[in-house]
């Protein structure tokens, strides 16, 4: 019986190479990550990322090119993307940074940083945020979205534009 060796993409099957080394601050490194959170028999979110590193000293998973589909009431979903993400493996709290964008059926928003608290089912963006929907556009700071109660709040408004009649259109800020 022969020994089965792992193959690394693009390598000659006759040659077996050791796995790549991992930087000392990382305990594990992953590529093409897909995680699904299920609570009480229901899907809560699906996360995909191009790659991930487990940061042992911080007990955190750092993600690259992240997309998270958060499943709300009545199968309403919000898809959030960001350049970098951090997830705590125990609490499942998630932070996305860098060109963060979120879309739901009717609304979309953008910010530099977004946090998701899975226990409270709340999305928050403490910094500047832009929100737009079919008849409204808002710029402000301190966004909070309560997914449980379908409620969106912006603590500090800078610009608010509304269209009261006519065809629905998208604002291009």
**CB-neighbour burial class of residue 77 (10 A; exposed 0-12, middle 13-18, buried 19+):** middle
Local confidence band at 49 (pLDDT 50, 70, 90 cut-offs): very high
Say whether 26 sits in a helix, a strand or coil: strand
Architecture of domain 28-162: Sandwich (2.60)
Domain boundaries, the chain: 28-162
The stretch 96-100 carries a mean pLDDT of 95
127-148 pLDDT, tens digit per residue, is: 999 999 888 899 999 999 998 8
The stretch 26-49 carries a mean pLDDT of 80
**Listed residue (92, 160, 142, 100) closest to 121, CA to CA:** 92
First to last CA, the chain: 66
> Model's pTM, two decimal places?
0.74
Local confidence band at 56 (pLDDT 50, 70, 90 cut-offs): confident
As beta bridge partners, residue 60 has: 55
């Amino acid at each position: 019986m022969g020994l089965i060796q792992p193959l690394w993409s693009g390598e000659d099957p006759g040659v077996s190479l050791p796995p790549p080394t991992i930087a000392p601050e990382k305990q594990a490194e992953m590529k093409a990550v897909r995680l699904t959170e299920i609570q009480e028999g229901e899907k809560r979110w699906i996360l995909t990322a191009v790659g991930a590193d487990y940061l042992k000293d911080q007990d955190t998973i750092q993600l690259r090119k992240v997309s998270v589909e958060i499943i709300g009431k009545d199968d309403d979903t919000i898809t959030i993307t960001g350049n970098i993400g951090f997830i705590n493996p125990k609490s499942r709290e998630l932070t996305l940074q860098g060109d963060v964008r979120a879309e739901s059926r009717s609304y979309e928003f953008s910010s530099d940083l977004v946090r998701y608290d899975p226990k409270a089912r709340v999305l928050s963006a403490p910094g500047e945020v832009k929100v737009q929907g079919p008849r409204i556009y808002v710029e402000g700071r301190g966004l909070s979205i309560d997914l449980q109660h379908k409620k969106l709040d912006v603590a500090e408004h800078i610009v608010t534009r509304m269209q009261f009649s006519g065809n629905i259109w998208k604002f291009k800020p």
